[in-house]
Chains A and B, each alone.
Chain A
Amino acid sequence: MASSGKLFIDAFWKNNPILIQVLGVCSTLAVTNLLANTLFMCFGLIFTTGLSNLTISALRNHIPDRIRMIVQVLIISIYVMIVDIVIKAVSPDIHRFIGPYVGLIITNCIVMGRAEAFASQNKPFTSFLDGIAMGMGYSMILVLIALVREPLGFGTILGYKLPGLELWWHQWTIMVMAPGAFFMLALFTWFARAKMAAPEGATK
């Protein structure tokens, strides 16, 4: 299980899909102004990367090379459609807002990238773990950004008002809009890459 642990550490830090691979940025900017929206999006992505990796890996010895990309997109889109239906049934209000982005999970580079680079060459269980880990690495950054944007933009966390709002809070509109996510993502990326580069620099 040591390799499973390494998979997760890589996904969270060394090979984080957003901070290091710079994948899935579109939805990061779009859905992180409210934590509830972010959590549904994260659920969608973890579900899709995990199960599409599992399915593609299980079928990898049977998928003809010439049409492997088409097959991967077909499998990914089925899981995305399931996510879309589930969110629409469970929370129609959140679906009204994040619906278009849920559909775009099909084209999310993390899902396709892991299917092609990992699942098509590894065993099902390892591929499943890789998908879950990558989805969680993506989710961690989204949740962190949402945890900054929602309080500053709306003065709430998960819709609940923060204490003493009238004493300290003034709406920071840019945090509600996509540019707010640009700034937060840039700050997180800068921090992560600087932290990673530090030991390397020290040895020089």
Chain B
Amino acid sequence: MKKDSPVYIFLFITILSIVFGVAISLVHYLSLDKLKSNERMIRNRSISRAFNLHVEASNGEAFENAIRANIEKKELKSSSGTMQLFISKNQPREIGFVFTGIGFWDRISGILVLSDDLNEIKSIEFLDQKETPGLGARIEEEWFKEQFKSIPIDWSKPAASRIVFGQKTSNGKVINGITGATQTSSALQRILNSELERFIQTYKQ
């Protein structure tokens, strides 16, 4: 059969796709357990960091144990859907919730931890984001997350303007967006405000 005949080309590309498709599926299948446990470890580590838990080892089990000992998990259901809550068992009590929304490229999700009276942000951690590396993805950097600590939340303000990047809050603190990542910064501000509103509505119910 001639190499340039349509039948040869069709058969060649079909066989090649099947062989390589099976190979990559096999590699994926063999690593599935490891990938899942890594995902769980990263999630638990983010929760531990959000609540400032001191964990000696950095493996999945250690983070899981720390969370089990110090944090109570709850699921709140309301008309606007289900919300995952994390409440610290230690004093002073802190309440965290999982926020999620569409960033510039894809979904951004994370945990926002509030003080017991819900009037102040204690910390923020990200669970998942696929923003532009070097630009929007810098939301995961420490300096950016640090800015959220002690930011007051004025619940009397309209839902869309409780957190405004670049604006001084009542205690003189400012959250700066990321230069060169305006779309990610705006999206994150929008997500946090809408999720804070969803949280307070769910929490009240």
Interface residues of A (CB under 8 A from B): 30, 62-67, 70-71, 74-75, 78, 81-82, 85-86, 88-89, 92-93, 96-97, 100-101, 177-178
Contacts and interface: CB of A to CB of B under 8 A. Distances in A.
B24 A78 contact: yes
Contacts of B9: 64, 66-67
A62 B19 CA distance: 15
Interface string B119-136: 000000000000001100
Nearest to A177: B134
Contacts of B31: 85-86, 88-89
Contacts, number: 58
A82 B27 contact: yes
Contacts of B23: 78
Enumerate the 4 nearest inter-chain pairs by beta-carbon distance, A residue then B residue, closest first.
Answer: A92-B38, A89-B34, A78-B20, A89-B31
Contact of A71 (B13, B27, B28, B34): B13
B160 to A, nearest CB: 30
Of the four ranges (under 10, 10 to 19, 20 to 34, 35 or more), the interface on chain B belongs to: 20 to 34
Interface of B: 3-4, 8-9, 12-13, 16-17, 20, 23-24, 27-28, 31, 34-35, 38-39, 41-42, 133-134, 140
A64 B38 CA distance: 42
A155 to B, nearest CB: 15
B12 A64 contact: yes
B19 to A, nearest CB: 9
Given A92-B38, A178-B134, 9 more contacts: A30-B134, A62-B12, A64-B9, A74-B20, A75-B16, A85-B27, A85-B35, A88-B31, A88-B38
B18 to A, nearest CB: 12
29 contacts: A30-B133, A62-B3, A62-B12, A64-B4, A64-B9, A64-B12, A65-B4, A66-B4, A71-B13, A74-B17, A75-B16, A78-B20, A78-B23, A78-B24, A81-B27, A82-B24, A85-B27, A85-B31, A85-B35, A86-B31, A88-B35, A89-B35, A92-B39, A96-B42, A96-B140, A97-B133, A100-B133, A101-B133, A178-B134
Contacts of A63: 12
B176 to A, nearest CB: 15
